[in-house]
């Protein structure tokens, strides 16, 4: 099915980015998985080529592209089982907070280096005792003259070891409504009292550094406040639409990548005198998988332009996030089965599609939360 949302310039960009992945990333990805982190130099190279923050305004050093350029980067990374390259989190989930809520002085201070890869972004929301209920976070930021003194801890921090700038959700006041006491601070990682904890060992996404973070009387200038004090929860809710859409796009692309690997494999692997692709079970299973992927693509190609037009799509992106990440894991599981024992070997990309898919149903709001959000929009 032809994807009419992409124009000629987008297709040229996709071809260029795909070649870059095949030449520069895929040959080294196993090394980065073993190291548990993507080298800083890879981020800097991405910045030079324009792969970071493609929607950033030209006045800050960006290309000023539309969101479809981000969609292409997400799709290609996930399709090629490079999910541990967390450029989309940097570019399309965290960067928009600064671009949308920062004043011009802050933008000039922070954004150019985010675009070049000199400053890697992280967002600190989750706390050890708090999961999806962000209103209950306990990390405090107490105003002291022209500074905030920050104390508390965060966990599951994506890009946590490499991060130079962290957008942190903190409690700046105790209010009757817990949501109203939350603010966002941008905190530089070299500040005294900002302490990176251990790099967490995960079952998947091995090339991506996930960390704990501790604030011990960390002094942050009041000028690092993002937007208005007490509006942090509102800002988080407003930006979650794009975050969940990004996750859904990746889920679709990963499922498509897993299917294409499997289609190639079943045409070559033989059993009982014929290719396993000739068995009815194989044909029917892959027909079912292909149908689900096509449905996902059609849904996304409807949602993406509407999101770009500024529509409120909380219900729809919640549907996309939960259904497509469930589908992604199912597809990876079923496709891996056709590889037999080889599918369980790390050297086969299908194994990464499988292990990297599991977390998709958890972060960005667990899928159970997505169903609750959908139900609320159904007025039940």
The predicted structure's pLDDT at residue 102: 97
Mean pLDDT of 113-126: 96
Antiparallel, parallel or unpaired: β 121-124 and 165-171: parallel
> For residue 134, what pLDDT is reported?
77
Candidate from 85-99, 226-240, 252-266, 303-317 with smallest mean pLDDT: 226-240
Query: 336: which 2 tokens?
Result: 């891996």
Same domain, 238 and 360: yes
At 42, which CATH number? 1.10.540.10
Please report the pLDDT score of residue 144 as a whole number.
Answer: 96
What is the per-residue pLDDT for 199? Answer: 93
Q: pLDDT tens-digit profile of 298-354?
A: 999 999 999 999 999 999 999 999 999 999 999 999 999 999 999 999 999 999 999
> In this model, does residue 90 exceed pLDDT 90?
yes
* Residue 308: CATH number of its domain: 1.20.140.10
Confidence label for 1 from pLDDT (cuts 50, 70 and 90): low
Q: Is residue 74 part of a domain?
A: yes
Residue 124 is encoded by which pair of tokens? Answer: 């600190």
- 261 with 331, same domain: the answer is yes
Are 217 and 169 in a shared domain?
yes
72 plus 167 within the same structural domain = no
Work out whether strand 210-221 and strand 165-171 pair parallel, antiparallel, or are unpaired: unpaired
- Tell me whether residue 1 is in a domain: no
Q: Are 240 and 339 part of one and the same domain? A: yes
User: Are 255 and 366 found together in one domain?
Assistant: yes
* Residue 106: other Cβ atoms inside 10 A: 17
Instruction: Write out the DSSP string of 22-53.
Output: IIIIGGGHHHHHHHTS--HHHHHHHHHHT-S-
- Report the pLDDT value the prediction gives residue 169, as an integer from 0 to 100: 95
Percent of the chain residues topping a pLDDT of 70: 99
Which among 62, 87, 119 is the end of a domain? 119
- pLDDT at position 174 is 82
214 and 312 part of one domain? no
Q: Considering its fold, how many domains does the chain have in total?
A: 3
Distance of CA 4 to the CA centre of its chain: 25
**CATH number of the domain that residue 225 is part of:** 2.40.110.10
Q: Give the distance, in angstroms, between the CA of residue 112 and the centroid of all CA atoms in the same chain.
A: 21
Residue 3 lies in a domain: no
Q: Which domain-ending residue is among 195, 230, 265?
A: 230
- For the residues 33-49, what does the mean pLDDT come to? 96
pLDDT reported for residue 132: 63
Would 42 be classed as within a structural domain? yes
- Out of 88, 119, 150, a domain closes at 119
Q: Is residue 224 part of a domain?
A: yes
pLDDT of 85 over the 70 cut = yes
Identify whether 2 is part of a domain: no
Active site positions, annotated: 243
Can you give the residue range of the structural domain that contains 153? 122-230
Pair of tokens at residue 79: 């399709």
The answer to whether position 188 is within a domain reads yes
Same domain membership, residue 323 and residue 190: no
Mean pLDDT of 210-232: 96
**What pLDDT is recorded for position 130?**
75
- Residues with Cβ within 8 Å of residue 151, at least 6 apart in sequence: 139, 140, 142, 215, 216, 217, 218
pLDDT at 131: 67
**pTM score > 0.85 for this model?**
yes
The verdict on 239 and 372 lying in the same domain is: yes
User: Same domain for 78 and 165?
Assistant: no
pLDDT of residue 380: 85
181 vs 87, residue with greater confidence: 87
Q: What is the mean pLDDT of the chain?
A: 95
Q: Using one digit for the tens of pLDDT, what is the confidence trace for 254-306? A: 999 999 999 999 999 999 999 999 999 999 999 999 999 999 999 999 999 99
């Amino acid at each position: 099915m032809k994807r009419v949302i992409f124009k000629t310039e987008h297709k040229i960009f996709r071809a260029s980015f795909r070649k870059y992945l095949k030449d520069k990333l895929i040959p080294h990805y196993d090394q980065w998985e073993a190291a548990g982190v993507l080298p800083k130099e890879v981020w800097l190279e991405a910045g030079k080529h324009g792969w970071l923050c493609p929607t950033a305004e030209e006045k800050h050093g960006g290309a000023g592209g539309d969101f479809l350029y981000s969609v292409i980067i997400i799709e290609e990374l996930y399709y090629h089982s490079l999910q541990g390259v967390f450029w989309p989190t940097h570019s399309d989930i965290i960067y928009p907070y600064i671009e949308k809520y920062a004043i011009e002085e802050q933008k000039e201070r922070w954004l150019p280096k985010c675009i070049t890869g000199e400053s890697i972004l992280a967002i600190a929301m989750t706390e050890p005792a708090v999961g999806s209920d962000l209103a209950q976070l306990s990390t405090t930021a107490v105003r002291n003259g022209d500074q905030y003194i920050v104390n508390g801890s965060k966990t599951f921090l994506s890009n946590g070891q490499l991060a130079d700038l962290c957008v942190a959700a903190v409690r700046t006041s105790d209010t009757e409504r817990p949501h109203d006491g939350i603010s966002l601070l941008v905190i530089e990682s070299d500040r005294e009292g900002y302490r990176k904890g251990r790099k967490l060992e995960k079952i998947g996404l091995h090339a991506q550094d996930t960390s704990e973070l501790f604030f011990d009387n960390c002094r942050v200038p009041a000028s690092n406040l993002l937007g208005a004090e007490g509006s942090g929860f509102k800002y988080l809710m407003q930006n979650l639409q794009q975050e969940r859409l990004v996750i859904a796009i990746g889920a679709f692309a990963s499922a498509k990548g897993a299917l294409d690997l499997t289609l190639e494999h079943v045409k070559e692997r033989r059993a009982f005198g014929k290719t396993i692709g000739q068995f009815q079970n194989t044909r029917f299973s892959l027909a079912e998988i292909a149908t689900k992927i096509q449905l996902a693509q059609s849904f996304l190609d409807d949602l993406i332009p509407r999101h770009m037009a500024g529509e409120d799509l909380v219900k729809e992106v919640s549907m996309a996030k939960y259904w497509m990440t469930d589908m992604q894991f199912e597809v990876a599981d079923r496709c891996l089965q056709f590889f037999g024992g080889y599918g369980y070997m790390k050297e086969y990309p299908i194994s990464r599609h499988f292990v990297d898919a599991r977390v998709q149903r958890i972060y960005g709001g667990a899928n159970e939360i997505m169903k609750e959000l959908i139900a609320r929009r159904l007025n039940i």
